[in-house]
Structure 1
Amino acid sequence: MGHFIEEILREAIYNEKKSHDFCHLAATLVTDKRTKEIFSQLADEEFEHARSFFVLYTGSEFASTDLLYKHHRSEDPIFDQLLQAVETDDRERRALEIALSGEKWCIDRYSVLARTVREPKYRAAFIEALDRSRMQYEVIEEEYRRLMGAAGSAWTTA
């Protein structure tokens, strides 16, 4: 495995684990039962995504599974946004908007990697991650629309 593959796998593990931490935290902070269930489900899925990339990674830097179990809350402003949203009446909307933005970023990034990576095993992993991100985006978007009602809101989705 080359340096480029190691770097993008490391990035993917980090991003999926960060998404897990965000969804786990969101599930504990939102009050709507359905939204809470969705964030809990997404947290479980994101952890499995991180683990699937971890299995592919053979770099010595991750000799332990610390990356899978370390919390990234203090390292990323996205968690500050979520914690600020908790203090508002629209915490579900704001948490879902943050989640949509994160999934959109993953879709964009995994699209590039699915086109760029040539090694079949790693390319297949990024294609699968892209498909999973698109499905998760749809789940989050559907929940967002449910909460916002039939009229929708100012949020536009990709």
Structure 2
Amino acid sequence: MFEEIDVQDAIKKSLQTEKNAMNFYQLGATRMKNKDAIRVFELLAKEEREHAGHFYKIYKGIDIPDFDEFMDAPPDQESTWMAAMTKTVNSDFTEQKALELAMHKEKKLEHTLRETAGKIKDENVRAIFELNARETHNHYEMIESEYARIMAMVHESDMDIYVRE
């Protein structure tokens, strides 16, 4: 039923990915002008740090001795998260482009977390991956909602009103 994977390696990679995501949102927030979009990206950066903390607690490696030091280290510019945001920042940056990129990255991360969770025997470790997958899905929905607001689309809470009229 379970495919054999190196669980500690998967945890370490997930910890690094959450740090990369945090750095992605921090950089995006510094480039935005819209106060609400900035607030969303700042909140997402904070939550990505919390996600990394979930993984840090179950990581048994000794190469990351201090969580705060690890998280506060300079961003890995080679990561797919940072490379994508840097490319967006260096082109015609808009909140729309940053939000579209964030939705894409969160959707992909959710899939990866769920796929990895399905390969882990240890129930406690699997639960951490599943929790992070659910929270990542919530991030996608938050970004999607902000995207709809920025694009002046009908918000999901107003959908009933427009359907009835």
TM-score by length of 2: 0.82
Q: Which residue of 1 aligns with 2:131?
A: 128
* Structure 1: unaligned runs, 5 residues or longer: 153-158
Deviation track 1:50-106 (CA, whole Å, cap 9, x = no partner) reads 111111101122223343222225223223223224xx3x61011101111110111
Q: Which residue of 2 aligns with 1:156?
A: none
Aligned-pair Cα RMSD in Å: 2.0
What secondary structure is seen at the aligned counterpart in 2 of 1:31? coil
Deviation track 1:96-154 (CA, whole Å, cap 9, x = no partner) reads 011111101111101101211110110000110011001010000111111112279xx
Partner Cα distance (2:18, 2:36) in 1: 22
Q: Which residue of 2 aligns with 1:97?
A: 100
The answer to whether the Cα contact below 8 Å between 2:106 and 2:139 also exists between their aligned partners in 1 is yes
Partner Cα distance (1:3, 1:69) in 2: 29
Q: Whose RCO is larger (CA < 8 A, sep 6+)?
A: 2
Residues 1-158 of structure 1: matches in 2 within 5 Å? Answer: 4-65=6-67, 66-76=69-79, 77-85=83-91, 88=92, 91-150=94-153
Partner Cα distance (2:116, 2:48) in 1: 18
Look up the equivalent residue of 1:17 and give its one-letter code: K
Percentage of matched positions with identical amino acids: 26
Aligned residues: 148
* Structure 2: unaligned runs, 5 residues or longer: 156-165
Look up the equivalent residue of 2:42 and give its one-letter code: S
